[in-house]
Amino acid sequence: MSQVRVLVGTKKGAFVLTADGKRDQWDVSGPFFAGWEIYHMKGSPVNANRIYVSQTSGWFGQIIQCSDDGGKTWNAPGGGMQTTPQGMPTGESNRFVYDSAAAPLTTHQWYDGTQHPWDFKRVWHLEPSLTDAEAVYAGVEDAALFLSKDGAHSWQELPGLRGHGTGPAWQPGAGGMCLHTIVLDPADPDRIYIAISAAGAFRSDDGGKSWKPINKGLRSPYLPDEDHEVGHCVHHIAMSPRRPGVLFMQKHWDVMRSDDAGDNWREVSGNLPTDFGFAIDVHAHEPETIYVAPIKSDSEHYPLDGQLKVWRSKTGGNEWEAMTKGLPQQNCYVNVLRDAMAVDTLDDCGIYFGTTGGQVYVSPDAGDTWKPIVRDLPAVLSVEVQTLA
């Protein structure tokens, strides 16, 4: 019998939600790391029991946690479970230090337009390798990409990204200057896509050594040059592993599509009543079926008219239909953040999303109907799902 495991990161801890393939009855465990902000948690596609967690705090900084039993128990790889022969804990999984020898620590643009030094704050996104359970990428604020090849015991920056010559033009979005999206290409192990608010999208075709901005076609009216190479506030990018190279993007405003690995983008907002939003994802089996959760505007981060709707396009954009069955259609003023939507890979593809009001919803029928799994968690920052055999 198939199972699904939903990994939920919230403002005050992590939760693991499990159900069988019917996705009707749910077990809820947690909070893990109670009181800490869990920006993201994600399982390895190679070993589903290996789960990586970004645990962070404005007071105490950054911790990375791991589980090797599907979320039942956890350890900080540097925090006591690994010991020397003398019994002393060793390692330090929370050390994220920019590689200033390879790429000098320059400056980026600050909110007021002045230049500001790069300063590590937290890990926004963890992306486990598609081929090695011990390898995991981390997207951090201030924007940079790190890689661990030893199960998060140690981290090395891939400095070619931060060292890209456009760095001084990057600027923080409202949430900070974060690298929040990492997409690995299953057909080409050297191809990586990332997105930064507010720099834009970048692609590497050599395993992260060098990077190319891929923002042609994005238009951002807040930039002096609307078509500038960088400076765009990309909120999230999704790609079906069944069709690498076709990308869908929720930008600050605008839903976008690229059919050439990001070289060119075109708007596919179509009939959406508002195309501001954060989350976007692709159906597991139908690469032209995509989902967004539009938000009223950049100034009002809640659904239009107080009605929570997921919009689905079965045509790869432009033609959208509202999915509302089971979702609140009055007095709803929550947000759906960029990493808070996911899909499972069961035959009847399940769609999941979490809200800043603490609800996690599931649709076991590709968006037609919805049910809350939980209603009263802390604000949800991220949702990932694992489909277990």
Interface with other proteins (CB under 8 A): 34-36, 57-63, 76, 78-80, 88-97
* CA dist 35 → 17, 28, 379 (Å): 19, 17, 12
Q: Which of 240, 235, 241, 238 is nearest to 253 (CA)?
A: 235
Cβ closest to other proteins, residue 76 vs residue 201:
76
Nearer to other proteins, 62 or 382 (CB): 62
Distance CA 27, CA 98 (A): 40
- Whose Cβ is closer to other proteins: residue 63's or residue 272's? 63
Least separation in angstroms between residue 122's CB and other proteins is 11
Which residue lies nearer to other proteins by CB, 61 or 104? 61
| Closest distance of CB 143 from other proteins, Å | 18
Q: Are 105 and 97 in contact (CB under 8 A)?
A: no
Alpha-carbon separation of residue 277 from 52, 54, 81, 235, 295 (angstroms): 26, 23, 40, 8, 5
Q: Please, are residues 320 and 272 in contact by the beta-carbon 8 Å criterion? A: yes
d(CA 349, CA 330): 27
- 327 DSSP assignment: S
Q: Which is nearer to other proteins, 66 or 184 (CB)?
A: 66
CB of 139 to other proteins, least distance (A): 18
> In the complex, what is the shortest distance from the CB of residue 60 to other proteins, in angstroms, rounded to a whole number?
4
Q: Which of 287, 294, 221, 226 is nearest to 259 (CA)?
A: 287
Total residue length of the chain? 389
For residue 74 the two structure tokens come to 């956890």
CB of 7 to other proteins, least distance (A): 20
Residue 199 in tokens: 């720099």
| Residue (4 or 381) nearer to other proteins, CB | 381
Which is closer to other proteins, CB of 97 or CB of 102? Answer: 97
CB 281 within 8 A of CB 266: no
**Smallest distance from the beta carbon of 234 to other proteins, in angstroms?**
29
DSSP string, 133-172: TT-EEEEEETTEEEEESSTTS--EE-HHHHTSTTGGG---
Which DSSP category does 379 fall into? P
CB of residue 142 to other proteins, shortest distance in Å: 14
d(CA 199, CA 202): 9
Which one, 80 or 189, has the nearer CB to other proteins? 80
Choose among 190, 199, 145: nearest CA to 169: 199
- In angstroms, the CA 249 to CA 267 distance is 9
Q: Which is nearer to other proteins, 91 or 244 (CB)?
A: 91
CB of 276 to other proteins, least distance (A): 32
Minimal distance in Å, beta carbon 79 to other proteins?
3
